[in-house]
């Protein structure tokens, strides 16, 4: 027992424990006021305090190592005293380093968030410019009035400060699209004028058929009068020529049979033509309805393009909000077009955003609202696809009818 006390006392003397312990306690109390970092100066202060504590710890450890060289038993006592003294300051060192590292991590997260927001902003502006640039390609099958509506709408579209650094690109895209739409409109005006001319020729053909039908009715009436006169003459002749009654009667039956056959054939022909005219009229009405449905293709395509662009934006918002809310791990994919990193969401490729692992109560509250907005655009896109298929089917039927009429006219 006496030897252990002597060794411990020697260790305390070698390390100057009484002085060192007071210094370390004082040094630890000096940094107790540092509990959080709020700015760069605070970090500098925290780092300096941690380095001071670290320097004190290293000094104690060096003195202990030198004292252990005297003897094995003395070394054990020195190690015990060293650990005791280190235990005094090491927790404070760990606490200060933790505060410093937490501040550094928060700054890194804020930098990453700013980069993600900038990427999303650029994507939205590029989407708006692409809508302007692709507008002429959506006019296939449209009428001149619909194209004029697109021209007016695009003309009213203001290229304002919301396009930021892409302002010049947006101005160029608008000018190019307006030029293309103007060319398309001029071509459609010429085509519609030709269609009006073809309609006039068709009306002239129908008028000619009507006149022929009226002429046929007149000839039949005249034939009926002649037949009646013949019958009177035959009856008079029968009275006058009693001796030839049988011969006349037989001739009358033959003539009556022929007339009946001819009248039956005429009635069948008239019924056939009237049926054909009825079918033609019904088909004309049906084609007009189909043309009206086909004329909506451009408007449907334009709205569908806007809805799809909005859907992509809301999908990105929902996924970003979900990642921010729950820290969901998303594995990026390689884009087949640009080889960049993307994410597949509801069958749509969107730019990959590195997810955050921190939970965000505000994001959790916003997520159902964002999902509802996304679902509205999912439904709108589905309805647009359905309406587009209906309109395109109508256009195909109109084109088939026009081709059939062209072939008949050529024949």
Those residues whose C-beta lies under 8 Å from the C-beta of residue 117, and which sit 6 or more positions away, are none
With respect to residue 193, please indicate whether it lies within any of the assigned structural domains.
Answer: no
Distance CA(92)–CA(31), nearest Å, equals: 8
Distances (CA, A) of 87 to 11, 145, 257, 348, 392: 16, 86, 134, 57, 81
Longest CA–CA separation in the chain, Å: 180
pLDDT for res 391: 86
* Inter-residue contact 364 to 328 (CB < 8 Å): no
Residue 203 lies in a domain: no
- Smallest CA-to-CA distance from 248 within 232, 258, 237 is with 237
Q: Are 112 and 354 in contact (CB under 8 A)?
A: yes
For residue 160, give both structure tokens.
């304002």
At residue 351, the pLDDT reads: 67
pLDDT of residue 1: 45
pLDDT at 342: 66
Domain stop point among 112, 134, 167 = 112
- Range 232-254 burial, b when 16+ CB lie within 10 A, else e: eeeeeebeeeeeeeeeeeeeeee
Q: Residue length, the chain?
A: 411
**92: in domain:** yes
Rounded CA separation 273/293 (Å): 30
Directed axis angle between helix 144-156 and helix 167-240, to 10°? 160
| 396 assigned to some structural domain | yes
Which residues of the chain fall short of a pLDDT of 70? Answer: 1-7, 69-75, 236-238, 241, 244, 248, 327-337, 339-340, 342-358, 411
The span from the CA of 174 to the CA of 168, in Å, is 10
Q: Give residue 377's domain range.
A: 297-411
Could you please report the per-residue DSSP string of 56-67? Answer: HHHHHHHHHHHH
For the chain, the domain total comes to 2
* pLDDT for the residue numbered 381: 92
* pLDDT (0 to 100) of residue 352: 60
Query: Do the domain assignments include residue 59?
Result: yes
- What is the per-residue DSSP string for 270-289? HHHHHHHHHHHHHHHHHHHH
Looking at 81, 112, 143, which one is the last position of a domain? Answer: 112
Domain for residue 345, yes or no? yes
Picking from 84, 112, 140, the residue at the C-terminal end of a domain is 112
> Rounded to a whole number, what is the distance in angstroms from the first to the last CA of the chain?
129
How high is the pLDDT of residue 281? Answer: 77
8-66 residue pLDDT tens: 777 777 777 888 888 888 888 888 888 888 899 889 989 998 998 898 888 888 887 87
Helix (H) or strand (E) holding 344: strand 341-345
Residue 237 inside a domain? The answer is no
- pTM of the complete model: 0.31
Nearest Cα to Cα of residue 58 among 107, 24, 10? 24
Helical ranges in 31-71 per DSSP H: 40-68
On whether residue 66 sits in a domain, the answer given is yes
Is residue 296 within 8 Å of 398, Cβ to Cβ? no
Task: Answer whether 78's CB lies under 8 Å from 11's CB.
Answer: yes
């Amino acid at each position: 027992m006496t030897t252990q006390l002597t060794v411990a006392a020697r260790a305390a003397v070698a390390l100057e424990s009484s002085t060192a312990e007071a210094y370390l306690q004082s040094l630890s109390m000096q940094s107790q006021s540092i509990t959080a970092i709020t700015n760069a100066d605070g970090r500098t202060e925290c780092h300096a305090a941690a380095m001071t504590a670290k320097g004190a710890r290293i000094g104690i450890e060096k003195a202990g190592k030198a004292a252990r060289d005297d003897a094995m038993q003395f070394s054990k006592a020195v190690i015990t005293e060293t650990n005791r003294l280190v235990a005094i300051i090491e927790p404070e060192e760990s606490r200060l380093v933790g505060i410093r590292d937490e501040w550094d991590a928060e700054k890194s997260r804020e930098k990453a968030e700013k980069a993600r927001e900038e990427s999303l902003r650029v994507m939205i502006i590029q989407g708006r410019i692409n809508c302007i640039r692709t507008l002429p390609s959506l006019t296939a099958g449209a009428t001149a009035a619909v194209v004029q509506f697109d021209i007016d709408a695009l003309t009213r579209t203001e290229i304002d400060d919301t396009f930021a650094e892409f302002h010049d690109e947006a101005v160029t895209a608008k000018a190019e699209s307006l030029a293309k739409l103007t060319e398309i409109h001029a071509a459609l005006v010429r085509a519609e004028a030709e269609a009006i001319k073809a309609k006039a020729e068709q009306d002239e053909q129908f008028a000619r058929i009507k006149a022929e039908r009226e002429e046929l009715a007149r000839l039949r009436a005249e034939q009926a009068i002649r037949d009646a006169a013949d019958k009177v003459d035959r009856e008079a002749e029968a009275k006058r020529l009693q001796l030839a009654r049988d011969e006349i009667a037989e001739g009358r039956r033959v003539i009556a049979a022929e007339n009946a056959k001819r009248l039956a054939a005429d009635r069948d022909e008239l019924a056939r033509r009237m049926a054909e005219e009825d079918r033609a009229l019904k088909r004309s009405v049906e084609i007009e309805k189909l043309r009206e449905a086909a004329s909506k293709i451009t408007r449907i395509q334009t709205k569908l393009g806007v809805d799809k662009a909005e859907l992509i934006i809301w999908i990105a918002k929902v996924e970003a909000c979900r990642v921010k809310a729950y820290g969901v791990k998303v594995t990026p994919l390689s884009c087949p077009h640009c080889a960049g990193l993307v994410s597949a969401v509801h069958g749509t490729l969107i730019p990959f955003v590195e997810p955050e692992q921190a939970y965000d109560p505000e994001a959790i509250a916003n997520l159902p609202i964002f999902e509802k907005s996304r679902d509205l655009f999912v439904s709108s896109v589905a309805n647009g696809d359905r309406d587009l298929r209906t309109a395109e089917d109508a256009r195909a039927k109109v084109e088939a009818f026009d081709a059939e009429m062209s072939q008949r006219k050529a024949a």
